[in-house]
């Protein structure tokens, strides 16, 4: 009887338990804190309508000098609208007028006007005309030596490849940013709500336009620290909000997932360097050194600063860190570092802190390279300290170097050294005058600012080749042949075969004297 009455109840309990566990896993998969899409509502602002003035520094090469008899009187009143007001009325050899008119017809106003005027003043007017008609290189080759080159450089622009102009309307650019602000390893959302700060400053404060546009909207979505949510966020930003390109704000697995989604859909995708696994693809670009690239740099740092130290690593168990681990272990062996071993812990698990601390303590490990979510680093450092284990922490990446991490880790993480794409707030003003002038003082905003500056540089490079007609295919093509000059971030050199273009990193050190923050230890480090 008892048995009979128990069985159905047990069955119900089991079914309910199974359902409950299933829902647990769903919640866990969602980072347990599914919820708000922190939409980057901001980012819509009007610009000052400034004219982009092409300085013409990368123009044609002027290899054939035929413009020695330039008397062209092209007075150049071309107003940049291509309406053939270029009056380059040269003599028979001066074809400044042609420069103007051809510039109008194909290259646009800038080609015509500058071609004409420069042809007039210094070189052959042919430079102007041909420059206008066919673009920089041709202008140079057939123009006068000076006129040709200058005319060519500022001459008309080629038609960009492709036709995908999503998010690049005539008056507005839309960019998408994703990062975890909920989930297992959240970042503060307020900084991402200010993701448009760079563009706002450039347009409103400096009076610029960006590829002829006076508005840049930045859309932000929370990826909840899970790859599936990240892909969904990226899909929403590109299909719903119509973002022209996507930017990964943090989280290796999410960046990889979104990067691959973007590549499948031929959407340019940029992020701070993380893994290289699965991201050696046409539309992905790392704006700083990847973890694998930073491995040898970190090993040389450890060797230099802690030559007698016994070293170990704690790395989250994800295939996306395998390249980082391989590069690090190889570099450690090359440097002859006294190495204990690499400990891997499951992603999302929080039961390993004290066990690992005890193991490392018993094996007298002095230096720990930690490549985990920041929350795991914080908890491990604190559990270690409670255990009486206070190693020197070192690491790569982006999010470990955020002040919120230092605040939460101190004093256990005092003196921790982490690489970062941007310098600390203490020295950011030295390398980013615009940043300094903006009066901002948040490190996540600084990182976003530095990424946006790189994108701005790439837009400028694009403009020189294809003008303001922005296509995703053309942007990708230009970007993979670009070098982003050093500013807040170290120089980035891309090539068609290498989209992991980082060349150096800044080194930050945890200062626990106050409430805890990072200060700049070394800038633009390429080796130690």
Partner 1 sequence: MPDVEELDPEVGEDTDAELEAAERDLAEATSALSSSRQTKLLLYAIGAVAVIAVLAVWQDLLTVIAVGITPGAIYAMIGLGLALIYKASKVFNFAQGEFGTVPIFVSWLILSAGAEDATGAVRDAGVGRLIIATLIALAAGVLLAMATYVLVVRRLQARGAVTTLVGTAGVALLVVQTEIIIGEASVRNFRKFVNGSPCFGSEVINDVEVCTSPLTIGAAVIEWQTLITLGVLVVTALGLAAFFRTQLGTALLATSQEPFAASLYGISTNTMNLVTWAAAGLLGAIGGLLAAGFTDTFTPGAITSAWLIGAFAGSILGGITSMPGAVVGGLLLGVIQSASNTWLPSSWPGRPQIGVFGVLLIVLLLRPRGLLGKEA
* Distance (Å, whole) CA 404 – CA 520: 16
User: Can residue 372 be called a binding residue for partner 1 (CB under 8 A)?
Assistant: no
String of contacts with partner 1 for each residue 389-418, x by CB under 8 A: ---------------xx-xx----------
Which range in 49-57, 98-106, 117-125, 185-193 contacts partner 1 by CB under 8 A?
Answer: 185-193
Structural tokens at position 96: 């400044």
Quick one: 6 or 526, whose CB is closer to partner 1?
A: 6
Half-sphere exposure of 244 (CA within 13 A, CB side): 23
Closest CB 421 distance from partner 1, rounded Å: 20
Q: Is the Cα dihedral 182, 188, 190, 196 positive or negative?
A: negative
Distances (CA, A) of 306 to 187, 310, 311, 397, 512: 31, 9, 9, 20, 20
User: What is the chain's length?
Assistant: 528
String of contacts with partner 1 for each residue 22-61, x by CB under 8 A: -xxx-xx--xxxxxx-------------------------
Q: Are strands 216-222 and 173-179 parallel, antiparallel or unpaired?
A: parallel
Footprint on residues 349-368 left by partner 1 (CB under 8 A): 349-352, 354-356, 358, 361-362
Contact residue for partner 1 among 75, 105, 189, 330 (CB under 8 A): 189
User: Can residue 496 be called a binding residue for partner 1 (CB under 8 A)?
Assistant: no
User: Can residue 182 be called a binding residue for partner 1 (CB under 8 A)?
Assistant: yes
Contacts of 53 (CB under 8 A, 6+ apart): none
Closest CB 517 distance from partner 1, rounded Å: 11
User: Can residue 19 be called a binding residue for partner 1 (CB under 8 A)?
Assistant: yes
Residue with tokens 């009887």: 1
Quick one: 54 or 253, whose CB is closer to partner 1?
A: 253
Which range in 78-86, 168-176, 231-239, 378-386 contacts partner 1 by CB under 8 A?
Answer: 378-386
User: Can residue 326 be called a binding residue for partner 1 (CB under 8 A)?
Assistant: no
450-454 contacts at long range (C-beta below 8 A, 24 or more positions apart): 450/421, 450/422, 450/487, 450/488, 450/489, 451/247, 451/270, 451/272, 451/287, 451/421, 451/489, 452/195, 452/198, 452/199, 453/198, 453/487, 453/488, 453/489, 454/270, 454/287, 454/484, 454/487, 454/489, 454/492
Contact residues: partner 1, CB under 8 A: 5-6, 9-10, 12-14, 16-17, 19-21, 23-25, 27-28, 31-36, 181-184, 186-190, 317, 343-344, 346, 349-352, 354-356, 358, 361-362, 374-375, 378-379, 382-383, 386-388, 404-405, 407-408, 515-516
């Amino acid at each position: 009887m008892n048995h009979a009455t128990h069985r159905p109840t047990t069955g119900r309990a089991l079914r309910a338990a199974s359902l409950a566990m299933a829902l647990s896993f769903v919640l866990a998969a969602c980072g347990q804190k599914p919820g708000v899409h922190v939409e980057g509502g901001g980012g819509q602002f009007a610009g000052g309508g400034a004219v982009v003035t092409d300085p013409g520094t990368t123009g044609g090469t002027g290899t054939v000098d035929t413009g020695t008899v330039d008397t062209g009187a092209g007075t150049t009143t071309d107003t940049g609208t291509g309406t053939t007001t270029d009056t380059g009325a040269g003599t028979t050899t001066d074809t400044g007028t042609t420069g103007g008119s051809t510039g109008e017809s194909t290259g646009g106003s800038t080609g015509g006007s500058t071609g004409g005027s420069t042809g007039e003043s210094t070189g052959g007017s042919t430079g102007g005309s041909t420059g206008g008609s066919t673009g920089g290189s041709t202008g140079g080759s057939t123009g006068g030596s000076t006129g040709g080159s200058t005319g060519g450089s500022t001459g008309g622009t080629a038609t960009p490849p492709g036709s995908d102009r999503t998010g690049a309307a005539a008056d507005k650019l839309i960019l998408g940013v994703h990062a975890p602000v909920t989930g297992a390893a959240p970042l503060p959302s307020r900084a991402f709500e200010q993701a448009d700060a760079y563009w706002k400053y450039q347009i409103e404060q400096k009076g610029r336009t960006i590829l002829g546009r006076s508005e840049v909207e930045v859309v932000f979505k929370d990826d909840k620290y899970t790859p599936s949510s990240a892909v969904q966020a990226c899909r929403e930003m590109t299909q719903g909000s119509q973002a022209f390109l996507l930017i990964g704000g943090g989280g290796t697995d999410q960046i990889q997932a979104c990067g691959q989604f973007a590549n499948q859909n031929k959407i340019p995708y940029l992020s701070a360097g993380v893994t290289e696994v699965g991201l050696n693809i046409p539309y992905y670009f790392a704006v700083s050194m990847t973890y694998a690239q930073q491995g040898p740099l970190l090993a040389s740092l450890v060797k230099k600063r802690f030559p007698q130290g016994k070293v170990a690593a704690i790395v989250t168990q994800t295939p996306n860190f395998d390249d980082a681990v391989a590069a690090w272990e190889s570099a450690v062996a090359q440097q002859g570092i006294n190495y204990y071993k690499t400990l891997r812990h499951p992603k999302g698990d929080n039961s390993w802190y004290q066990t690992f601390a005890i193991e490392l303590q018993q094996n007298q490990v002095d230096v720990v390279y930690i490549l985990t979510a920041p929350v795991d680093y914080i908890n491990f450092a604190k559990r270690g300290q409670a255990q009486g284990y206070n190693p020197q922490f070192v690491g790569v990446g982006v999010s470990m170097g955020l002040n919120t991490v230092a605040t939460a880790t101190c004093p256990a993480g005092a003196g921790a050294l982490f690489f970062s794409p941007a310098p600390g707030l203490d020295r950011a003003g030295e390398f980013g005058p615009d940043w300094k002038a903006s009066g901002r003082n948040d490190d996540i905003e600084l990182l976003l600012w530095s990424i946006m500056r790189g994108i701005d540089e790439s837009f400028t490079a694009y403009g020189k080749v294809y003008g303001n007609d922005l296509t995703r295919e053309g942007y990708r093509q230009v970007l993979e042949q670009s070098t982003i000059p050093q500013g807040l971030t170290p120089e980035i050199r891309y090539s068609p075969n290498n989209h992991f273009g980082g060349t150096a990193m800044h080194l930050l050190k945890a200062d626990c004297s106050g409430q805890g923050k990072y200060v700049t230890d070394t800038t633009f480090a390429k080796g130690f």
